[in-house]
């Protein structure tokens, strides 16, 4: 079989139906990688350092020989691992191709591709490697989009509404889902947040798949979502976009928050409260913590909701008021996308 080298566009398109392998070192992969890629490092971090030092200080040929010393004992286990992964995914090696990349599309991906091709896999490699992928992502992040912002105070159910929007034939970007964070001091979800680069990779690929003829609906967010930053070009477009402000009554939002945070441990809610103590104020912080200790989450959330309402309203006032379109709904249950969109997509 022959190994085929693809540009980034073709590589991303074709690899959706195949098995994607990242042969960079473990630390490179942990920092960020193509979504869906499996880590099959040719060299571990220390080996990569040794080979790189030899390349710089001695010669390319010497670095290759050292690399072969590291590579040789791993060959059998690497083939076995790819077969095992494909079996677990119910992939047929005779039907599903393997897509391999390293950092620049150089010797690491060439070496692993040679091995897998020799064994009998149909192998594709990426011209320019992960570096080309990052260039592609940056192109998406710096392009222009038609954006609609779904706004509303805390507890309005914005995330819930957006998750149901696909049934209305709307394009949606779930920034909080990509960031694995709900966007406030209380927004930490289970699991770790992605690195900044990994978040950008998820967002860039999502943007690559949107239709330019349709608006993208995005929840009203701060520039930071937990520890990650919304890329500046996309953020500026969000700030300039129309805000479809959903006004849900206070008590309805309070009830929604009670349900939404019902399974969050009290200790986590107390820690989140302490993180905003300076802005919340000493007395209100004390009251919230006491209510949480007593198990009276409703009254604790009542104080916190007033606090977040105040800050959201202040932020909204800084937006161009001509771009804010307000809609009132008596409850989450009667929310109607058609009322917001007037039939637009």
| Confidence at residue 345, expressed as pLDDT on a 0 to 100 scale | 46
Residue 289 CB-half CA count within 13 A: 15
Backbone CA torsion sign across 69, 6, 14, 10 = positive
Using an 8 Å Cβ cutoff, are 129 and 112 in contact?
Answer: no
User: Could you tell me if 288 and 314 lie in one domain?
Assistant: yes
Burial of 172 (0-12, 13-18, 19+ CB in 10 A): buried
Q: Of the residues 109, 138, 167, which one is the last residue of a structural domain?
A: 138
Q: Of the residues 138, 169, 185, which one is the last residue of a structural domain?
A: 138
CATH number at residue 188: 3.40.50
Backbone CA torsion sign across 320, 239, 186, 245 = positive
Domain limits at 235? 145-341
CATH number at residue 21: 3.40.250.10
User: Could you tell me if 97 and 160 lie in one domain?
Assistant: no
pLDDT by residue (tens digit) across 7-54?
999 999 999 999 999 999 999 999 999 999 999 999 999 999 999 999
pLDDT by residue (tens digit) across 221-280?
989 999 999 999 999 999 999 999 999 999 999 999 999 888 899 999 999 999 999 999
**Which of 22, 36, 18 is closest to 95 using CA atoms?**
18
**pTM of the predicted protein model:** 0.91
Of these residues, 32, 66, 98, 102, which one is catalytic? 102
User: Could you tell me if 127 and 258 lie in one domain?
Assistant: no
Q: Is 75 a catalytic residue?
A: no
**Which of 169, 175, 50, 34 is closest to 100 using CA atoms?**
34
User: Could you tell me if 217 and 128 lie in one domain?
Assistant: no
Q: What is the count of structural domains for the chain?
A: 2
User: Could you tell me if 163 and 250 lie in one domain?
Assistant: yes
CB atoms within 10 A of CB 60: 11
């Amino acid at each position: 079989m022959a190994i085929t080298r693809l540009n980034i566009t073709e590589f991303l398109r074709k690899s959706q139906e195949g098995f994607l392998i990242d042969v960079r070192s473990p630390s490179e992969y942990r920092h960020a990688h193509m979504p869906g890629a499996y880590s099959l490092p040719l060299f571990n971090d220390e080996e990569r350092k040794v080979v790189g030092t030899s390349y710089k200080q001695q010669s390319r040929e010497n670095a290759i020989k050292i690399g072969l010393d590291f590579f040789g004992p791993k060959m059998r286990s690497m083939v076995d691992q790819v077969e095992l992964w494909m079996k677990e995914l119910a992939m047929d090696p005779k039907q599903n191709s393997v897509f391999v990349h390293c950092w620049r599309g150089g010797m690491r991906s060439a070496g692993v591709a040679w091995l897998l091709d020799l064994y009998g896999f149909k192998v594709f490699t990426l011209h320019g490697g992960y570096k080309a992928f990052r260039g592609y992502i940056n192109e998406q992040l710096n392009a222009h989009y038609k954006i609609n912002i779904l706004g509303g105070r805390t507890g309005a159910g914005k995330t819930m509404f957006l998750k149901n929007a696909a049934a209305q034939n709307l394009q949606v970007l779930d920034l909080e889902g990509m960031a694995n964070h709900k966007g406030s001091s209380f927004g930490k979800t289970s699991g770790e947040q992605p690195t900044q680069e990994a978040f950008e990779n998820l967002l860039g690929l999502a943007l690559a798949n949107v239709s330019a003829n349709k608006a993208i609906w995005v929840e009203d967010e701060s520039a930071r979502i937990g520890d990650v930053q919304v890329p500046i070009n996309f953020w500026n477009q969000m700030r300039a976009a129309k805000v479809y402000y959903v006004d849900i009554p206070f008590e309805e939002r309070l009830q929604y928050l009670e349900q939404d945070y019902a399974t969050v441990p009290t200790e986590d809610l107390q820690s989140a409260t302490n993180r905003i103590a300076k802005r919340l104020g000493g007395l209100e912080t004390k009251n919230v913590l006491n209510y949480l200790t007593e198990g009276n989450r409703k009254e604790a959330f009542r104080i916190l909701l007033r606090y977040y309402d105040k800050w959201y309203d202040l932020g909204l006032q800084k937006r161009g008021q001509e771009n804010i379109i307000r809609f009132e709904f008596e409850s989450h249950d009667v929310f109607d996308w058609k009322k917001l969109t007037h039939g637009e997509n």
